[in-house]
A and B are shown apart, each in its own frame.
Chain A
């Protein structure tokens, strides 16, 4: 097959590309230039010059052609704009999901296919099997690296052209393989931050992009103003640190952000039990299995990239998805993705609009 290997300049994509070459595929390495300069004027994060150079070195060692594809404009239009819009609306976005949805397995794949390639190889940790009804997405073997959650937004038609050679491996083995192959990326640290916020200061980034919009922090127990925030978009439901609160709670227990209201510019804090969510509402499900209408209670849901799955009864009715959780989950924010699993298999994903604590539907712009 003719395959594009998306080379980020990290160890995983390097080994994935190397394996595709070993399997005899006709592989071309592509490094994606995504954010030229972030809204805050910082230098490019995941696509820094060093990463582009490392990606190029890997391609040279593998003896494959290498190109930089410029998707900065598309990335700005979809991922970065959505990121700011979602925070503005009091929601908590996950830009990596949006990137997989709109860039890597959409715009990049479209371009690759138009240029005559059959598919794309990436270093994601997840497994695809090809069943009678199309591709099926499964968790990776390595639970600490499993990325099926962030891939659950990719439609089956696109998954059919995706290749994840690392889904059956442990990270440590992948590193060892990279070293054995003499790839310069073998010892590079894992990236954890959002690629366009390399310093990890999400609040600072959003403030520099949108400007400070200060408002009150209210204690849910007393309804009193106990502090000030720089913008509702600087905090996330479930957050405890960094609120600058000086007034202790009456009961002496820590307070968490339990609601953010962008319209009133109010952040509400309260005790931990007010974070406990029993019911999640989401909309516009993407099905990676046969859709069902009605309830299924033999499934699990996951609401964070590295969260634990929780048993749930998931009821769907057209575009509406409701998950009744078998055990409460703490601190779920609208905007996060709800991913439904059956064991290791991903069944569906949908974006959370409300919980039994907070309702913050998507603002369509």
Chain B
């Protein structure tokens, strides 16, 4: 995040908090492998274990259930592949239930398992807000006789901010005896996250989305559940995940989670106000803009996602970038080529409109002035992007 810019891409990464940097730097001075048995190793291990306990306490989990990983992507891979392989080895049906709006860190492992490991995938649809109806999962499980390796539904969507009824889904899965995983990367710090209350088999969280360092995340597991490792080696994390842990990353991560949970309520209140003001501002500045996703309790307080008909999202992004605003088209890229978002397509948005969308994700750095600047910059950007959009389609040739 550069000085003087409006940073509205907190869902991509959020600037490091001062107290996190302090904890991170302090721990980086400790030399020692947490797995070593000598004094130096013990000093490092103490930092890692205190970080684990701190994260567990903040999220109402048991310390032993916190499996550190290299980030959200690895945690999602471990959940999806680890649960799938363990279930297959038990003789359960190699079947996965997944929502159709998952982050690529879940979507791609699921598709990979379907292609290479014979996984039979049931895609759970969403409504026009991006919401999964838990009864669809109940019906799907009933149809399948309750025999599946796992069900995975993200807690909140990274693109359009839709919050899923994961408590209901977890209950349904528990009753059917099917492991349930949820990617909670986007909800941490924005809405209350209580692991014990949720009762899922695995929950993914990430450090840098809440002002922690990049390079660490965790899968918080039900220790009664079986996971086949994805990364094999020294077995440092309960024999489920291997690799030397960085005590500095762990300390920074713990400080970030602690801050996110401590300030969640007041942060969410502040985000709601900014969100409402940005949504209202965009609607009045660009009357034909369409808000995607849900409203109120079904939407993350920091998420604003609009479709601007007639504009290409990447043209808008470029024009806003030039105007000092960092935002995102929110969609995945292949070699930098924007693909229409699978999330928007799943909500029924046609392909042409799906390419015309922008995500503004608000966070700690966001101010009233930022909102004003975004709203002020949009009309001329939209106007130019519309002209560019029509020239691309109807240009000479």
Contact = CB atoms under 8 A, between A and B. Distances in A.
Interface of A: 28, 31, 33, 36, 44, 47, 49, 52, 56, 65, 67-70, 72, 74, 77-78, 101-103, 106-107, 110-111, 113-116
Contacts of B390: 114
Given A107-B397, A110-B391, A111-B392, A33 B384 contact: no
Given A114-B384, A115-B385, A70 B338 contact: yes
A104 to B, nearest CB: 11
Given A33-B337, A106-B396, A115-B315, A65 B391 contact: no
Interface string B329-349: 000011111100000000000
Contact of A52 (B322, B335, B384): B335
25 contacts: A31-B336, A36-B334, A36-B337, A47-B335, A52-B336, A56-B336, A65-B318, A68-B333, A68-B335, A68-B337, A70-B337, A72-B337, A74-B392, A77-B397, A102-B396, A106-B397, A107-B397, A110-B388, A111-B391, A111-B395, A114-B390, A114-B391, A115-B384, A115-B387, A116-B319
B321 interface: yes
Nearest to B336: A68
A65 B337 contact: no
Nearest to B322: A65
Interface size class of B (residues with CB under 8 A): 20 to 34
A116 B384 contact: yes
B49 interface: no
Nearest to A102: B397
B397 A74 contact: yes
A102 B394 CA distance: 12
A69 B317 CA distance: 12
B92 interface: no
Contacts of A70: 314, 337-338
Main SS at interface, chain A: helix
What are the 6 closest A-B residue pairs judged by CB atoms, nearest first? A68-B336, A114-B388, A110-B391, A102-B397, A114-B387, A110-B395
Contacts of A114: 384, 387-391
Contacts of A110: 388, 391-392, 395-396
Contacts of A103: 397
Contacts of A74: 392, 395, 397
Given A49-B335, A52-B335, A111 B397 contact: no
Contacts of B391: 107, 110-111, 113-114
B328 to A, nearest CB: 13
Contact of B392 (A44, A49, A68, A107): A107
A115 B321 CA distance: 13
A115 B395 contact: no
Interface in B340-397: 384-385, 387-392, 395-397
B36 to A, nearest CB: 39
A137 to B, nearest CB: 18
Main SS at interface, chain B: helix
B264 to A, nearest CB: 35
Contacts of B318: 28, 65, 67, 115
A70 B334 CA distance: 11
B360 to A, nearest CB: 19
Contact of B321 (A36, A65, A68, A106): A65
Interface in B299-339: 314-315, 317-319, 321-322, 333-338
Contacts of A72: 337
Nearest to B387: A114
A78 B395 CA distance: 12
B198 to A, nearest CB: 39
Contacts of B337: 33, 36, 68, 70, 72
A118 to B, nearest CB: 14
B395 A107 contact: yes
A69 B336 CA distance: 8
Interface-central residue, A36, A52, A115, by most chain B CB under 10 Å: A115
A78 B335 contact: no
Contacts of A44: 335
B384 A67 contact: no
Contacts of B396: 102, 106-107, 110
Contacts of A47: 335
A326 B314 CA distance: 53
Contacts of A67: 314, 317-318, 336
A149 B338 CA distance: 33
Contacts of A68: 333, 335-337
Nearest to A65: B321
A33 B397 CA distance: 18
B379 to A, nearest CB: 14
Given A65-B318, A107-B391, 10 more contacts: A31-B336, A33-B335, A65-B321, A65-B322, A68-B336, A107-B397, A110-B392, A110-B396, A114-B391, A115-B384
A111 B386 CA distance: 10
A52 B322 CA distance: 21
A111 B336 contact: no
B27 to A, nearest CB: 31
B229 to A, nearest CB: 30
Interface string B10-34: 0000000000000000000000000
Contact of B336 (A33, A78, A115, A116): A33
B2 to A, nearest CB: 12
A110 B392 CA distance: 7
A100 to B, nearest CB: 12
A213 B388 CA distance: 42
B83 to A, nearest CB: 32
Contacts of A78: 397
